[in-house]
Amino acid sequence: MEKTSTDVFPSTMNSSENQETVCIFGTGDFGRSLALKMLQCDYSIVFGSRNPHKSSLLPSGAEVFSYSEAAQKSDIVIIAVHREHYDFLKELTEVLKGKILVDISNNLKINQYPESNAEYLAQLVPGAHVVKAFNTISAWALQSGALDANRQAMAKTEDPFSTSTAWLYDSYIALGILGFFLFVLLGITSLPSVSNTVNWREFRFVQSKLGYMTLILCTAHTMVYGGKRFLSPSSLRWYLPSAYVIALIIPCTVLVIKFILILPCIDKILTQIRQGWERNSKPTSNGQYLKQSSIHLDSQL
The full set of domains in the chain, from first to last, is 21-144 (3.40.50.720), 164-275 (no CATH)
**Is the pLDDT assigned to residue 269 strictly greater than 50?**
yes
Backbone angles phi, psi at 231, to 5 degrees: -120, 30
Cα angle vertex 246, ends 241, 251, to 5°? 145
109-130 confidence digits (pLDDT tens) = 888 888 888 899 999 999 899 9
64-110 confidence digits (pLDDT tens) = 999 999 999 999 999 999 888 888 898 898 999 999 999 998 888 88
> According to the model, what pLDDT value does residue 234 have?
66
Checking 87-94 for CB contacts under 8 A at 24+ apart, the result is: 88/50, 89/121, 89/124, 89/125, 90/124, 92/67, 92/68, 92/125, 93/124, 93/125, 93/126, 93/127, 94/127
Q: Say which amino acid occupies 63.
A: E
Name the band, by pLDDT with cuts 50, 70 and 90, for residue 279: low
**Is the pLDDT assigned to residue 293 strictly greater than 80?**
no
24 torsion bin: left (phi>0), alpha (psi -120 to 50), beta (else): beta
Asked whether the whole model's pTM tops 0.75, one would answer no
CB 183 within 8 A of CB 204: no
**Is the pLDDT assigned to residue 297 strictly greater than 50?**
no
Name the band, by pLDDT with cuts 50, 70 and 90, for residue 9: very low
